[in-house]
Chain A
Amino acid sequence: MNLSQLVFIILSAVALIGAVGVVTNRNLFRAALFLVLSFVGVAGFYILLEAEILAMVQLLVYVGAIAILIIFAIMLSRQLMSPEYKARNEQWLWGLVAAVALFAVLAYILLKVTWPTSESTVPPDAIIRLGLSLISPKGFVLPFEVASVLLLVALVGAVIIAREK
């Protein structure tokens, strides 16, 4: 076992402990914090794969924005934190079915696909290549622009909702 495998196991433990904590913890605020732990573990995977920019974006977007949004939603919702609020409701059966189905699909993919590996290392100008492929017509300029338009629509929508009548 080499060093990167050891790091991988530690990071997996962090991400999985976080994920288990999210679903088992009764305290919703703590559950949200476990979610953050899981996100940080995933950011560690990106660093292990030498994709620094993805790791930074993972921290910035998931920890800095999405986790904070979830925490605010929890803290501002009434009675969501009260101990009387049950962890399970009458839809648990459907939830179970969906979870098992998703697990089956993921497990099937995991067992079926032969994962291609590459011996080549990450080029030092990976960020520049990423940026160029995002804006070049042969690359991903269309999805990139569509995503931008989507974000703009969301922004305008937020302004319209928040505007005083």
Chain B
Amino acid sequence: MGFWHFILNFWTELGNWAGGVMTGWGLPPWAVNLIADIVGVLILVVFGIMAVLIFTPMERKVIARMQDRPGPNRVWPYGLLQALADAIKMLTKEDVIPRYADRALHMLAPILVVIPALLVYAVLPWGPKLIGQDLNVGVLYIVAVGAIHVLAVVIAAWGSNNKYALLSAYRTVNQLLAYEVPMVLCILAVVLFAKTMSTQGIVEAQTIPYFVVMPIAGLIFLICALAETNRSPADLLEADSEMVAGYMIEYAGMKFAMFFIAEYVNMFAAAIVISTLFLGGYKFFGLEKVAPVFAPMIVFAKAVFVIFCMLWFRGTWPRIRFDQLIGFAWKFLVPLSLVNLMLAALVIKIPVTDPKWAPWIQGGVMLLGSLVVLAVTALILNRAARKAKDAPALKQIVTVER
């Protein structure tokens, strides 16, 4: 019992042991808590930044594989340490500030872009009771912190005093705000089902992963996550032929690296949020109850799977035109997510006598309803596509130009 109990509950037992040791040194309880909190914050932040070192090689290797080329293969082994070499290169570069830039804001933006990305990690659950802070408004917190990111983008563009950067920031903010609406509507559907806004509570409420229960919300959230993290096919700020290099064009060396880090930290956070809200978080067929030691690995594995899907999209889908991207958000995703929300609101009102069966019955009805909605959507899209096909080509171009 003792040994296996320790191994299976490794993370909580480790915390108890460390706390016990510190109490043994004669530290008062508040000091023990303070040290534990600081260590927890450090672990979360460092792990978030380590994500860059983990996922840049993964991205480059996976994309290379899909495009039938070897990818980075010079830095030993298999080019997996390429990210480290890049980091050293970034650190040794000259720090250039444009002469007519707003110096203070130019300096502020790279800091402000990383902070919200790391703040999200505070509420992401890694296991039962293995969470930075189980806020009872956790999901709302994730969305609210994202608002600071929008601000950082604008500051970076304005502080650089560059036309391309400013145009790119307009695009980016437009895109971020447009895709925030369907994203929040999908989160609302999840919150309705879980009856809580705490991320831990949402994981606990998922008897069946919500991606199966409400595939519409899951897919829309995935698309929105791609747009929110500026991943392909929604990476229009990096469209070289139009925007040169996005709002971070005037940044060099480590300050550019900060934007780079923020992108990957955001991507990893988005992947964990998707696995928390829709893929059951740290749950995996009851394994997390038998051996809580595996819970963080389960979350990580699910997040890696989501990131792999994101890379898959990047490797296979063409980039969308900007007006199409915004139109897609407002004219397609928002109405669809509203329908999904209404469906969820109706389904959770189904009276079920035995609460044990409630998730199964409600989940089943929700799944059926979602499939019907998807079928109707496909029908409508099909008709619209036929109409567009029959219309004269010239007229289409004119409507786009306007």
Contacts and interface: CB of A to CB of B under 8 A. Distances in A.
Given A29-B158, A75-B158, A127-B197, A63 B137 contact: no
Interface stretch (B50-58, B66-74, B148-156, B298-306): B148-156
Interface string A59-89: 1100111011001100100000000000000
Interface residues of A, number: 22
Nearest to B157: A75
B105 interface: yes
A21 B328 CA distance: 40
Contact of A33 (B137, B141, B155): B155
A63 B136 contact: no
A53 B137 contact: yes
A36 B151 contact: yes
Chain B interface size, under 10 / 10 to 19 / 20 to 34 / 35 or more: 20 to 34
Interface in B114-171: 135-137, 140-141, 143-148, 150-151, 154-155, 158, 166, 170
B173 A72 contact: yes
B177 interface: yes
Nearest to B195: A128
B356 interface: no
Nearest to A69: B177
B387 interface: no
A27 B161 CA distance: 14
B402 interface: yes
A23 to B, nearest CB: 19
A164 B147 contact: no
A56 interface: yes
A92 B148 CA distance: 34
A30 interface: yes
Most chain B beta-carbon contacts within 10 A, residue among A57, A64, A67, A68: A64
Contacts of A63: 144, 147-148, 151
Contact of A53 (B105, B140, B154, B177): B140
Contact of B140 (A56, A71, A72, A164): A56
A68 B154 contact: yes
B95 to A, nearest CB: 22
Contact of A64 (B146, B158, B197): B146
B137 A52 contact: yes
Interface in B8-52: none
Contacts of B151: 36, 63-64, 67-68, 71
Contacts of B150: 64, 68
Contact of B145 (A27, A59, A68): A59
Q: Which 4 A-B pairs have the closest CB atoms?
A: A64-B147, A59-B144, A56-B144, A56-B140
10 contacts: A36-B151, A56-B144, A63-B144, A65-B147, A68-B151, A71-B151, A75-B154, A75-B166, A127-B137, A164-B402
